[in-house]
Chain A
Amino acid sequence: MFKEERTKSMFSWELLGDVTEGRPNLGKMMYVSVYRLMQFTLRDVLITELGVEKADEIFFKSGEVAGRHFYRNVITQKDTFNDFVVDLQEKLKNMNIGILRIESADLESMQFTMTVAEDLDCSGLPACSEEICTYDEGFITGLLGEHTGLRFEVKEVDCWCSGDRVCRFTANLIK
Chain B
Amino acid sequence: MLSVHEAFIDKLTEAIYLLLNGKKATLVDLPPQHPDDEMRQLTEYINKLIVEYDSFTEFMYSLSRGELDYDPPKGKLQVVQSFKSLQSNLRHLTWVTQQIAAGHFDHRVDFIGDFSKAFNKMTRDLKDAFELIEAQKRELEEANYRIMESIQYARSIQQAILPPLAAIEACVDDHFVIWHPRDVIGGDLFWFSGGTEKFLAAVMDCTGHGVPGAILTMIAGVALNRVFSEQGFDDPSRLLSAMNQLIKATLSRREESSLYDDGLDMAICRVDRHARTLDFAGARMSLFRVKDGKAEEIKGGRRSIGYRSSDADCRFTSHCLDMEPDDRFYMMTDGLMDQPGEQQKMPFGKKRFVEFIAGNYSKPFAEQRDVLWELFNRYKGGESQRDDVTVVGFKVDIS
Q: Do A and B bind each other?
A: yes
Find residues 48-102 in chain B having any chain A CB closer than 8 Å to their own CB.
75-76, 81-82, 84-85, 88-89, 91-92, 95-96, 99
Q: Is A163 an interface residue (CB 8 A)?
A: yes
Which residues from B are CB-within-8-Å of A82? 99, 104, 106-107
Contacts A104-B95, A105-B95; A115 near B88 (Cβ below 8 A): yes
User: Is the CB–CB distance between A89 and B108 below 8 Å?
Assistant: yes
Within 68-88 of A, Cβ neighbours of B (below 8 Å) are at: 80, 82-83, 85-86
> Provided the pairs A104-B91, A166-B85 are in contact, do residues A99 and B108 lie with their beta carbons within 8 angstroms?
no
Please classify the interface of chain A as helix (H, G, I), strand (E, B), loop, or mixed, using the class held by over half of its residues.
mixed
Which of A86, A99, A103, A117 is the one whose CB lies under 8 Å from B107? A86
A122: min CB distance to chain B, Å: 14
Q: Is B260 an interface residue (CB 8 A)?
A: no
How many chain A residues touch the partner (CB < 8 A)? 24
Roughly how many angstroms separate A54 CA and B319 CA in the complex, as a whole number? 111
List of A residues within 8 angstroms of B84 by Cβ = 158, 164-166
Expressed in whole angstroms, the minimum distance between the Cβ of B204 and any Cβ of chain A is: 59
Q: Given contacts A101-B88, A104-B95, are A163 and B76 in contact (CB under 8 A)?
A: yes
Instruction: Tell me the residues in window 317-360 of chain B with beta carbons closer than 8 Å to chain A beta carbons.
Output: none
B149 within 8 A of A: no
Whose C-beta in chain A lies nearest to the C-beta of B76?
A163
Q: How many residues of B contact A (CB 8 A)?
A: 20
As a 0/1 sequence over residues 283 to 320 of chain B, the CB contacts with chain A under 8 angstroms (1 = contact) are: 00000000000000000000000000000000000000
Q: Is the CB of A99 within 8 A of B111?
A: yes
Q: Is the CB of A86 within 8 A of B108?
A: yes
Give the chain B neighbours of A113 by CB distance below 8 A: 91
B274 → chain A closest CB, angstroms:
81
Most-contacted residue by chain A among B76, B88, B95, B106 (CB, 10 A): B88
Residues of chain A with a CB closer than 8 A to B106's CB: 82-83, 86
For A168, list chain B residues within 8 Å (CB). Answer: 88
| A99 CA to B85 CA, complexed, in Å | 13
Question: Is A102 on the interface with B (CB-CB < 8 A)?
Answer: yes
Asked if B110 lies at the interface with its beta carbon under 8 angstroms from chain A, I say: yes
CB distance from A89 to the nearest CB of B (A): 7
Q: Judge whether A165 and B85 touch: CB under 8 Å.
A: yes
**A47 interface contact, C-beta 8 A:** no
Residue numbers in B under 8 Å from A105 (CB-CB): 95
- Distance of A103 from chain B, by nearest CB (Å): 4
CA distance A166 to B81 in the complex (A): 9
A113 to B88, CA, bound (A): 10
Taken together as a complex, chains A and B put the C-alpha atoms of A165 and B110 apart, in Å, by: 16
Q: Which residues of A contact B95 (CB under 8 A)?
A: 102-105
- In the bound complex, what is the Cα–Cα distance between A113 and B94 (angstroms)? 13
A127 proximal to B (CB < 8 A): yes
Residues in B with CB closer than 8 Å to A28 are none
List CB contacts (< 8 Å) of A40-93 with chain B: 80, 82-83, 85-86, 89-90, 93
| Complex CA distance for A160 and B124, rounded to whole angstroms | 33
Nearest to B87 among chain A residues (CB) is A103
Which residues of A are found within 8 Å of B99, using beta-carbon distances?
Answer: 82
CB neighbors of B among A104-118 (8 A): 104-105, 113, 115, 117
Among A101, A115, A127: residue with most chain B CB under 10 A: A101
Closest chain-A Cβ to B26's Cβ sits at a distance in Å of: 27
CA–CA, A127 to B85, complex, Å?
Answer: 17
Give the complex CA separation of A93 and B91 in angstroms: 19
Provide the residues of chain B in CB contact with A166, threshold 8 Å.
Answer: 84-85, 88
Closest Cβ neighbor of A80 among chain B residues: B104
Residues of A within 8 Å of B88, CB to CB, are 101, 103, 115, 166, 168
* Beta-carbon contact of B81 and A99 below 8 Å: no
Q: Which of A93, A115, A158, A163 contacts B110 (CB 8 A)?
A: A93
Q: Which residue of A lies closest to B100 (CB)?
A: A82
Q: How far is B95's CA from A113's CA once the two chains are assembled, in angstroms?
A: 11
Residues on A with C-beta less than 8 A from B96 are 102
Closest Cβ–Cβ distance, residue B269 to chain A (whole Å): 69
Q: How far is the CA of A8 from the CA of B84 in the complex (A)?
A: 41
Give bound CA distance, A9 to B39, whole Å. 60
Partner of B111, one of A90, A117, A163: A117
B355–chain A nearest beta-carbon distance, Å:
60
Could you tell me the distance in whole angstroms from the C-beta of B138 to the nearest C-beta in chain A?
22
A89-B110, A103-B95 are known; give 7 further A-B pairs, CB within 8 A: A82-B99, A82-B106, A82-B107, A86-B106, A89-B108, A158-B84, A166-B88
Interface pairs (22), CB distance under 8 Å:
A82-B104, A82-B107, A83-B106, A85-B107, A86-B108, A89-B110, A99-B110, A101-B89, A101-B92, A101-B109, A102-B96, A103-B88, A103-B92, A105-B95, A115-B88, A117-B111, A158-B84, A164-B81, A164-B84, A165-B81, A166-B84, A168-B88
